[in-house]
Structure 1
Amino acid sequence: MKENELKPTLGIWSALALIIGTIIGSGVFFKPASVLGEVGSANMALAAWAAGGILTIAAGLTIAEIGTQLPYTGGLYIYMSHIYGKVWGFLAGWMQIIIYGPAIIASLSLYLAVLMVHFFGLGDQWQIPIAIIAAVGVMFLNMLNKRYGASAQIITTVCKLVPIAAIIVFGLIQGDEAALGQVLTQATSTTTGSFGVAILATLYAYDGWILLSNMAGELKNPQKLLPRAMTIGLLVVMFCYIMINLAIYKMLPADTIIAEGEKAAPFVATMLFGDIGGKLLNIAIIISILGCLNGKIMTFPRIVYAMAKENDLPFSKQLAYVHPKANTPIVSIGIIMLFSIIMMLFFDADYLSVICIFVIYLFYVFAFIGVFIMRKRNKGVKLSYRVPLYPFTPIVAILGSVYIIWSQVAADLVGVAISIGIVLIGLPLYWLIHRKD
């Protein structure tokens, strides 16, 4: 294999850590109150978390069938290019490196900074500097060697599951509230699309499931590892999310959860384990976000690298550079980090966490439809993996995604229009790059 290509070195544990570790970040701790506030009752909030999980599992299993047929670095960019042509592939890649990837990294960094500022008793003016320092530190870790990033992912994934398990077990045992049936005394939901917006909020917590496909070319046996890691990882995450929300509802009345907002989970930890427990949970959340951030910074630059390998970006030769000893695309990593820092400086974390989910689901719909197209193209070909319960599973993924898109359009038409406009700016860039073709 050529020295300037990424090598397949990742096994099942690294794959599982990437799936679980890049999904479980800040959302499971910060989103319970916002989800509850949208729907007005604990039952509907749990339904939203379950619906988000089912949609994510359906999506992951559907994408896994495409990924096993196209086991190359680049994920959605590769899939869209193969199924719909180079222009659609370029827009999918452009959207991820300009909006989706940097927005996710920026929002995680800002959430992390909020926690660290409060934990160390610093002023709010330190939030953006801490966010940038944390992200840049993780960036350098991933530039050193892929093994360091993969090892950090495994360690942080194990560390984040311990406090989640503690809250679930002790919360369910010691809680005195009637977890099911709680209703807000003053419902905050006023729009018919609120259940969809609530699911959208859960999808920020579930986000990250597709990122393993960005590194499919670096898995030792992607045809087997990709669907296996996707299935096991998503089931683990969905179980954790539903159970931790159930534990929170068992410990706190619905109105108290809304009043505590993003501090609801730490408040529960303090109730269960005292002030020391609350501080330990804050440390655990910091580790959790760092692990999630590490997974994002490890995977998103692979899209830049894959596009550069196809000469789909300006300065493709430089962006496709892989350090010969570290075996990492250091220039692509630096570019993603630059875009992320710009977003940290100009946008707040909550806005970034919503808008990034909307834009990626626009392309997910086309990718899910792509399973039917590829089945028709490859009729009679034996596949190493087929999505379970076909065609029901991809149909669930498609319908759920369309519902999410519609809900966000109803909730924030201006933000949606801006996001779509930024994606479409990629078209003249594509024509400029390929004007000689």
Structure 2
Amino acid sequence: MAKVGDVDGLPSRAMDSGLETVDGGDQESNGSVRLKKELGLMNGVAIIVGVIVGSGIFVSPHYVLKFAGSKGMALIVWVLSGILSMIGALCYAELGTMIPKSGGDYAYIGEAFGNLPAFLYLWGALFILVPTGNAITALTFAEYILKPLWPECHPPTAAISLIAAIITCFLTVINCYNVKWVTRVQDSFTAAKILALLITFFASLWYLFSGHTENLQNMMEGTTTKPGSIASAFFTGLFSYSGWNFLNFVTEELKDPYKNLPRAIRISMPVVTLVYALANVAYFAVLTNDEVLVSEVLAVTFSEKILGKVAWIMPLFVAMCTVGSLNGAIYASSRLFFVGARNGHLPLAISLIDIRRLTPVPSLIFMCVVTLTLLISTDIESLMLIVSAVEAMFTLCSVAGLLWMRHTLPQKMRPIRVNLILPIVFLITCTFLVIFCFFENPIKVGIGIAFIALGVPIYLIFIQWSNKPKWLQSACNSFNITCSKMFLCIPEDSKEL
């Protein structure tokens, strides 16, 4: 793996293959090619809400209730998870305006602690956080789309995997083609998914006002007191809030990020927390504990019980939610790998930009391929715990970096400066959650930790080692140039010839 500057001749050789910049594109005065700043405030809100509200709210209630033990405790977990995510998002608002670079945690951890911790985050995001989350969302979409065709049994695994692969590839193509198309899809599906969840809530109100209040009685009965179980409940709940930091991945494409980044966070997080709380109240009002615990497609079970002949509408709504979430995740996370490759922590080919559409096509395609390899997995509970635990550990590093940089870089401009209590509360809470969850699920959390540790020798061999054999350097250069010619892409800031 080499840095952009280490590969001699790529821009010119790429140009010799027919590459050219687009007149009127987002270029500097010297003709360099860069990603466009096309995201406004509402686009930012749509990305955050759109990414967060996806498969989690239709999958996690089952697991949160399982670990919490009672509906009352489950609701408390959902609200507190939203508040904790809000605190984290506000901390990230300071980080994102202090370090206005795309890449999110990768940029912040690197700025605070150096290259190795930043690479470990990139390594974990590349093979655990992003593709696993995308795979869960795509599989949820496929399962809900196919459920009406197999109402009495579980849809075939092969069919679910195939549909999940198709939607992943389709959204990747849209992301490769045009950023404006991505934002239009995101805006439309974000509005649709909020409407869908509000319909769920109002349908449950009608059910309650009809005299069916039995499912909301004795809400705290069966509440667990084990710290490990409560921590696991929080992690499955926090999985549904995953994505609150995704706008930080695309800061360089956000118009006026100093204003729009914190504003988007302040608007979107309360909306998501309220919608999630209302959705869970709706589920718990209509369904018994046993129905919630045994249902693999909770929204379908809910709709069949309350919506009657129009129950088919709920799988459609869930599909819309998951498509919007997957679309936003593909868009935002591809920029993470783009920035990592631009900094020399991934192959240069992943940092190339399409000269016509000004989108990171190789990064998008690479991420699509990794996601497709994970679509065969079916143990969603284990995947959620691993993803949430690993994400919590890196979020801890980012927020710790915020405190560290306040000490080491006091002179650095901070357009947003959160109260010191917020990052401290976030650090303490997440630390206890990780510790308790590890003791409750040592194998699952240990797998995530072990995989992150594997990134250390990878870094030392492929990044730190400067005297690589010539044949390896030549192979890397050939791969990068082949990708440049194949996708008509060049490195960022390449000049017109």
How high is the TM-score relative to the length of structure 2?
Answer: 0.82
Tell me whether 347-356 or 233-242 shows the greater mean CA deviation: 347-356
Q: Match for 1:264: what amino acid?
A: L
How far apart in 1 are the matches of 2:307 and 2:319? 18
Q: Secondary structure at the match of 2:352?
A: coil
Alignment partner, residue 268 of structure 1: 302
Q: Quote how far apart the aligned CAs of 1:184 are.
A: 8.3
Residue 486 of structure 2 corresponds to none
d(CA) in 1 for partners of 2:137 and 2:436?
Answer: 23
Q: Does 1:436 align with 2:466?
A: yes
Partners of 1:396 and 1:173 lie apart in 2 by: 39
Tell me, yes or no, if structure 1 residue 393 matches structure 2 residue 426.
Answer: no
1:364 match = 395
The yes-or-no answer on 1:10 pairing with 2:39 is yes
1:172 matches 2:205: yes
- CA offsets, 1:233-292, max 9 Å, x none? 111000001111112222233333334x2333333333333231x211110000100110
Q: Is the 8 A contact 1:107 1:348 kept in 2?
A: no
Report if aligned partners of 1:77, 1:93 keep a CA contact under 8 Å in 2.
yes
After TM superposition, the structure 1 = structure 2 runs for residues 77-116 of structure 1, keeping only pairs within 5 Å, are: 77-116=106-145
Cα distance in 1 for partners of 2:244, 2:290 equals 32
Distance 1:374 1:179, change over 3 A: farther
RMSD: 2.0
Secondary structure in structure 2 of the residue aligned to 1:344 = coil
Partner of 2:471: none
* 1:201 partnered with 2:227: no
Counterpart contact for 1:216–1:222, Cα < 8 Å = yes
Counterpart of 1:219 in structure 2 is 254
Are the equivalent residues in 2 in contact too, given 1:149–1:294 (CA < 8 A)? yes
Query: What is the aligned counterpart of 1:50 among 52, 69, 79?
Result: 79
- Secondary structure of 1:322 counterpart: strand
Mind listing any 5+ residue stretches in structure 1 that lack a counterpart? none
Secondary structure of 1:345's counterpart equals coil
Deviates more, 1:400-409 or 1:295-304: 400-409
Contact preservation (8 Å) 2:176, 2:360 = yes
Residue 375, structure 1, aligned to residue 395, structure 2:
no
* CA-CA distance at 1:190 after TM superposition: 8.2
Aligned to 2:267: 232
Of the three residues 298, 320, 342, the one matched with 1:309 is 342
Q: State the partner residue of 1:147.
A: 180
Q: Which moved more, 1:396-405 or 1:324-333?
A: 396-405
Gaps of at least 5 residues in structure 2 are 1-27, 468-497
* Cα distance in 1 between the residues matched to 2:242 and 2:433: 14
Deviation at 1:393, TM superposition (A): 1.3
1:321 to 2:356 alignment: no
Provide the residue aligned with 2:313 in structure 1. 280
Query: Which shows bigger deviation, 401-410 or 83-92?
Result: 401-410
For 1:369, the aligned partner's letter is: A
- Larger Rg over CA atoms: 2
Secondary structure, aligned partner of 1:436: coil
Check whether the contact 1:182–1:254 (CA below 8 A) recurs between aligned residues: no
Instruction: Specify whether residues 400 and 172 from structure 1 end up closer, same or farther in structure 2 by C-alpha distance, changes over 3 A only.
Output: farther
CA displacement 1:37-64 (0-9 Å, x = unmatched): 2122221111110111111001110111
Query: 1:124-150 CA deviation, whole Å, 9 max, x = no partner?
Result: 331111111111111111111111111
Structure 1 Cα separation of the partners of residues 232 and 335 of structure 2: 30
Which digits, 9 at most, give the CA deviation of each residue in 1:322-346, with x for residues without a partner?
1122221111111111111111135
- For the Cα contact (< 8 Å) 1:171–1:250, is it kept in 2? yes
Matched, 1:36 2:65: yes
Is the 8 Å Cα contact of residues 110 and 118 (structure 2) preserved in structure 1?
A: yes
User: In the TM superposition, what is the alpha-carbon distance from 1:220 to its structure 2 partner?
Assistant: 0.7
Out of 419, 430, 445, the residue aligned to residue 416 of structure 1 is 445
Q: Deviations over 1:202-256 (max 9, x none)?
A: 1111111111100011101111111111121111000001111112222233333
Describe the SS at the equivalent of 1:30.
helix
Specify the alignment match of 1:182 in structure 2: 218
Q: Which residue is equivalent to 2:379?
A: 348
List per-residue Cα deviations over 1:134-171 (Å, max 9, x = no partner).
11111111111111111111111011111111111231
Q: Do 2:43 and 2:183's aligned partners in 1 also have CA atoms closer than 8 Å?
A: yes
Structure-1 residue corresponding to 2:23: none
Deviation at 1:33, TM superposition (A): 2.4
Change (3 A) 1:34 1:188: farther
Stretch deviating more after TM superposition (119-128 or 227-236):
119-128
SS class of match (1:6): coil
Match of 2:99 in 1: 70
- TM-score normalized by the length of structure 1: 0.93
Alignment match, 1:24: 53
Amino acid at match of 1:164: L
1:118 is matched with 147
- Classify the secondary structure of the residue corresponding to 2:345: coil
Structure 1 residues 7-59: Cα deviation after superposition (integer angstroms, max 9, x where no partner): 21110111001000000001112222221121222211111101111110011
